[in-house]
């Protein structure tokens, strides 16, 4: 991913939570990871498509501003941004991640 595709506007490190405010350019993917803790996010402006993988199915969900979504620990996820999008994401505690190869091949 090029540096100009997505960037962190700021992050806040609290005792139990790390909060990220991220802006991503239209037409880009971000994520393609599996986390060891639950991930939460809130779309601030425009929309995002979130794909998760559960059992043998990909589940695609369009998320609109103001909607809070939780992705459970161990569930692979990738974001696609049809428009320039600002979002906030946070974890319940320090998160470790690993790349999910199947989704990684989707990136453009």
Predicted TM-score (pTM) of the model is 0.81
Over the stretch 33-83, which tens digit does the pLDDT of each residue have? 899 999 999 999 999 999 998 778 889 999 999 999 999 999 999 999 999
Assess whether pLDDT exceeds 70 at residue 25.
yes
Rounded distance between C-alpha atoms, residue 54 and residue 58, angstroms: 6
Which run of H or E residues covers position 90? strand 85-91
DSSP state of 43: E
Assess whether pLDDT exceeds 80 at residue 103.
no
Superfamily of domain 6-104: Jelly Rolls (2.60.120.10)
CB burial of residue 15 (10 Å; 0-12, 13-18, 19+): exposed
Tell me the pLDDT band of 17, cut-offs 50, 70 and 90: confident
Q: Where are the domains of the chain?
A: 6-104
């Amino acid at each position: 991913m090029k540096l100009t595709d997505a960037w962190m506007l700021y992050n806040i490190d609290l005792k139990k939570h790390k909060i990220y405010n991220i802006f991503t350019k239209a037409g880009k993917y971000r994520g393609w990871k599996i986390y060891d803790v639950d991930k939460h996010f809130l779309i601030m402006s425009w929309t995002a498509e979130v794909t998760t993988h559960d059992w043998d199915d990909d589940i695609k969900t369009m998320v609109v501003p103001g909607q809070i979504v939780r992705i459970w620990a161990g569930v692979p996820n990738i974001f696609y941004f049809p428009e320039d999008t600002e979002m906030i994401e946070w974890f319940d505690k320090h998160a470790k991640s690993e790349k999910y190869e199947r989704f990684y091949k989707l990136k453009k």
